[in-house]
Amino acid sequence: MEEDHGKRLIIALVISMAFLLVYQRYFAPSPPVTVQEAGKAANKAASPRNTSGMEGLADTSAGAASSGPSFATTEKVPAIAAKEETLVTVRTPLYTARFTNRGAALESFTLVKFLEAQKNPNSNVEMIHKPLEGDLPLGAEFTGAGGPLGFGTALFVVEGKDLVLSASGKGQITFRYRTPEGLEMIKTFSFSGDSYALKAKLRIVNQGHGPLGGRLSFSWAPGMGPVPVQAGAGSKVKSLSTGRYGYKGAMAFVGGKTRKFPGKKIEGTERFEFLPQWIASMDMYFTVAILPIDGLDGAFVEKNKDGRVEIGLYAQARLDPGREYESNATVYIGPKEMAALKAVDPTLTKTIGLGIFGVIAKPLLDLLNFFNKYVNNYGVSIIFLTILIKIVFIPFSTASHRSMSKMSKLQPRINALRSKYKKDKEKLNQEIMILYRENKVNPAGGCLPILVQIPVFFALYRALLGAIELRHAPFILWITDLSAKDPYYVTPLLMGVTMFLQQKLTPTTGDPRQAKIMMFMPVAFTVLFVNLPSGLVLYWTVNNILTIGHQYFMNRSSRDPVAEALPAEEEGKTKGKGKKGKKKREKEESK
């Protein structure tokens, strides 16, 4: 074909650049989900649902189902409640959790190994942001036809004391409260010192004299979104993570696929209801995930009036006197660390956002952590990982360089053919293909090896962009956080310079227009990378330096047979197939 390697290379680079930008902004679009209006009607009348696996649930008649959940008795029974608010603390090597008996909910959950401010050793990441008003995380409520019973603000009786657990330690705390209607709620939280996950068990017992029906909900409110620091429409907010590029919102894993609910796209009281394997609220580096175990019908995602995304689980229950109902769930509260997530549920690693390149990105992250075990510096680990990747792709890079070199040497002959057959495109294409065949040149040979490496580049791009391992990880001198941009823009500028030098050593086609376009690429990439995490820019820069060394070695050591054959052929001194082919073409041209 007439289209030469230079144009193909430019097209490949442009497509890659465009894909990179589109991929980052619109990565992994969520499949459509059914949106169901909640409003106040969700609490007043719930539609009949599948209740398989609901232990101790009384058989509901058609009449009862049509009338909706209700409280069928007004007789009072002795209540169980505390007299005042108390706090219970759980300390482990990974986190410090503080529960309040008001609503039997979490008031604070700080991560021991992660800081909000890098230079402040006392600023441990707080996963819970106390709302200006409303419920706290891990609160539960039971709502009937008359409205909620008030479990969210009730003073539970605490069974248990403060816990201090070692890495191998385990413990639990139980909260108990009974309403005057006779509905008792028992919440038990179990902890392991070596995991960010805790177990939550909810039991509701009908101690009254008549059947009770309603909706049991268990939620993470007010979400992990912005933190309001003052009330009102003009409230100032800050984010748990400082990264610009991470996904923020809710995500669920349903039917083997992830569904995203970006915070900006959830409107008001809209409620998404489904039965997931897990549902999570997240920002760039941290996540809260709830994994239903049993006794639950589904989950919901909604935005509260503060603009934050809330997630939760629910179940429809109707209990006869003396019967009880139990729900169980696992709650993960912590960083998006591959090993920590995988220990709870392998599919939770999807919250990291590696997407379609996860198959490649996960082992790359494992290799990065492997190197860091020995060097204890993620910047150096990135350099080692880049060298390893470069070694793996040396055969492809070598093949690409040789093909481009051959194309460069053939360019004068191709230009001569274009001048000779400029009025006969078909003949021109035939002659060019004959020239390629005689000199054993594949016009796509320079692009294909590059295309093979593109998936690895995007996989490493995603891995480094959202890797919590790089958060607050120092490298050298002024680079104290590999997850943040270079404050002095040294690495982006160095990347641009190395890319310029790399192109100087790359064989060209001789087309001045293409040369100008290629010379502009270092400038474009420098602008693109100027605000990206310095860890990612470091990878690209080191890769450029290694490529420069490889191209310099290839230019010095290779003896291109095409370069040697062309002068002899032009003087009519070539032998074999090249000479016969030339005579054959001259004979055809004279006809």
Could you tell me which residue, 323 or 66, shows the higher pLDDT?
A: 323
441: closest CA among 562, 576, 283, 279?
A: 562
Cα 501 to Cα 116, 378, 450, 461, 496: the distances in Å are: 40, 27, 18, 22, 9
Q: Return the higher-pLDDT residue of 296 and 89.
A: 89
Average pLDDT over residues 568-572: 42
Residue 300: pLDDT over 90: no
Question: Does the structure show a pLDDT above 60 at 235?
Answer: no
Is the residue at 454 inside a domain? yes
Residue 129, domain member (yes or no): yes
Q: Are both 202 and 270 inside the same structural domain?
A: yes
Count of domains forming the chain = 2
Crossing angle for the helix pair 425-438 and 577-590, nearest 10 degrees?
170
Q: What is the mean pLDDT of the segment spanning 320-339? A: 92
Rounded to the nearest 10 degrees, the angle between the axes of helix 5-25 and helix 512-529 is 20
Averaged pLDDT for residues 43-65: 32
Q: Which residues are within 8 A (CB) of 387 and not within 5 positions of it... i.e. 6 or more apart?
A: 542, 546
Q: In this model, does residue 32 exceed pLDDT 50?
A: no
Question: Domain ends where: 319, 352, 385?
Answer: 352
**Does residue 376 share a domain with residue 278?**
no
Least confident stretch, 134-148, 154-168, 446-460 = 446-460
Nearest to 195 by CA among 300, 314, 50, 90: 90
Listed as own residue / partner, the contacts of 256-261 with beta carbons closer than 8 Å and 24 or more positions apart are 257/31, 258/28, 258/30, 258/350, 259/30, 259/31, 259/33, 260/28, 260/29, 260/30, 261/30, 261/33, 261/301, 261/309
Q: What is the DSSP string of 516-572?
A: HHHHHHHHHHHHHHTTS-HHHHHHHHHHHHHHHHHHHHHHHH---HHHHHHHHHHTT
Residue 94 belongs to a domain: yes
d(CA 287, CA 127) in angstroms, rounded, equals 9
Q: Do 479 and 534 contact (CB within 8 A), yes or no?
A: yes
Amino acid residing at 128? I
40 pLDDT higher than 50: no
Q: Which amino acid is at 207?
A: Q
Q: Classify 1 as helix, strand or coil.
A: coil
Report if residue 472 sits inside a domain: yes
Tokens of 228: 């309001």
Calpha distance 563→408 (Å, rounded): 9
Assign residue 315 the CATH number of its domain. 2.70.98.90
pLDDT over 50 at 3, yes or no: no
Q: What is the mean pLDDT of the chain?
A: 76
Tokens encoding 382: 């990135």
Q: Is the pLDDT of residue 448 over 50?
A: yes
pLDDT at 559: 54
Query: Do 432 and 333 share a structural domain?
Result: no
- For residue 37, pLDDT over 50 is answered with no
Cross-sheet strand order for the sheet of 87-91: 124-126, 105-115, 95-100, 87-91, 163-164
Q: What DSSP string describes 402-436?
A: HHHHHHHHHHHHHHHHHHHTTT-HHHHHHHHHHHH
- Provide the token pair at 55: 């232990």
Do 367 and 473 share a domain, yes or no?
yes
- In a domain, residue 576? The reply is no
Residues 377 and 513 placed together within one structural domain of the fold: yes
The Cα–Cα gap between 280 and 276 comes to: 10
Residues in the chain: 591
Name, in order, each residue with C-beta under 8 angstroms of 312's C-beta and a sequence gap of 6 or more: 217, 218, 219, 220, 221, 279, 290, 299, 300
CB environment 500-515: b (16+ within 10 A), e (fewer): bbbbeebbbbbeeebe
CB 290 within 8 A of CB 311: yes
User: Would you say residue 62 has pLDDT above 50?
Assistant: no
CA dist 18 to 12, 22, 23, Å? 10, 6, 8
Residue 55 has pLDDT above 70, yes or no: no
**Mean pLDDT of the 483-512 span:** 82
Higher-pLDDT residue of 196, 132: 196
Does one domain contain both 298 and 404? Answer: no
pLDDT at 547: 87
Q: How many whole angstroms separate alpha carbon 42 and alpha carbon 538?
A: 52
Q: Does residue 565 lie in a domain region?
A: no
Q: Per-residue pLDDT tens for 259-296?
A: 888 877 776 555 667 789 999 998 889 999 999 998 88
**For residue 587, is it within any domain?**
no
Phi, psi of 79 (to 5 degrees): -85, 155
171: part of which helix (H) or strand (E)?
A: strand 170-178
Q: How far is CA 179 from CA 80, 104, 148, 185, 458, in A?
A: 7, 14, 11, 9, 56
Using one digit for the tens of pLDDT, what is the confidence trace for 400-445? 777 777 777 777 887 888 888 877 788 888 888 888 787 777 766 6
Q: Give yes or no: residues 437 and 541 share one domain.
A: yes
Its domain, for residue 187, covers 29-227+238-352
Query: Is 566 within a domain?
Result: no
Among residues of the chain, what percentage have pLDDT more than 90?
29
Structure tokens, 420? 């000779």
For residues 178 and 312, the answer to whether their CB atoms sit within 8 Å is no
- Give the sign of the dihedral formed by CA 341, CA 344, CA 347, CA 351: negative
- DSSP track, 467-512: -GGGTT---STT---TTS--TT-HHHHHHHHHHHHHHHTS---S-H
Share of the chain above pLDDT 70, in %: 71
pLDDT band at 393 (very low <50, low <70, confident <90, very high): confident
- For residues 333 and 437, membership in a common domain is answered with no
Is the same domain home to 333 and 460?
no
Side chain identity at residue 2, one-letter code: E
Which of 320, 352, 384 finishes a domain? 352
State the Cα–Cα distance between residues 83 and 104, nearest whole angstrom: 14
Write down the pLDDT at residue 552: 83
pLDDT above 90: residue 119: no
C-beta of residue 104 within 8 angstroms of C-beta of residue 189: no
**Same domain (yes/no): 341, 387:** no
Alpha-carbon distance values, 295 to 201, 328, 447 (Å) = 10, 7, 56
Write the DSSP string, 332-364.
Answer: EEEE--HHHHHHH-GGGGGGG--GGGHHHHHHH
Q: pLDDT confidence of 397, banded at 50, 70, 90?
A: confident
Q: What is the pLDDT of residue 433?
A: 84
Alpha-carbon span 522 to 510, nearest angstrom: 19
**pLDDT reported for residue 134:** 66
pLDDT above 70 for 544: yes
What is the pLDDT confidence band of residue 66, given thresholds at 50, 70 and 90?
Answer: very low
87 phi, psi to nearest 5 deg:
-120, 145
List the single range of 23-32, 296-305, 337-346 with lowest mean pLDDT: 23-32
Residue that is last in its domain, among 352, 381, 400: 352
Task: Report the chain's C-alpha Rg in angstroms.
Answer: 32
**174 and 66 assigned to the same domain:** yes
Mean pLDDT value across residues 547-555: 83
508 and 528 share one domain: yes
